[in-house]
Amino acid sequence: MSKSIITDEDRCFFCGGKRQCDHHLLFGMGNRELAEKDGLKVPSCNKCHNLGQIIERIHENPMAEKLSKMLGQAIYEAKIGTRDEFRRRYGKSYL
């Protein structure tokens, strides 16, 4: 498993609760695996990840999913590569 390049914290990135899983900032269409390799992930609890009410969680919450992908791309461009490289690797630009 790769290390997060976003945080060293071991608590849920969103609510500070106990870490139960990782959220990959890019996901869908094989992008989760690439985000794993690139360390574009944050610790999460299950509720913030996909088990809470829609408004409280990331997955199937359109605004949170979009912000997640935008943040993933912004961090990729800050720490890893260019926008063109991101687009080639993850299939499109979210910014």
Q: Measure CA of the first residue to CA of the last residue in the chain; give whole Å.
A: 28
Query: Which listed range, 6-14, 35-43, 76-84, 87-95, lies at the site for Zn ion (CB under 5 A)?
Result: 6-14
Contact 42/13 with Cβ under 8 angstroms?
A: yes
21 has which bridge partners? 44
Binding mask 26-65 for Zn ion (x = CB under 5 A): -------------------x--x-----------------
Distance of CA 71 to the CA centre of its chain: 8
Applying CB under 5 A, the site for Zn ion has a residue count of 7
Nearest approach in angstroms of CB 72 to Zn ion is: 11
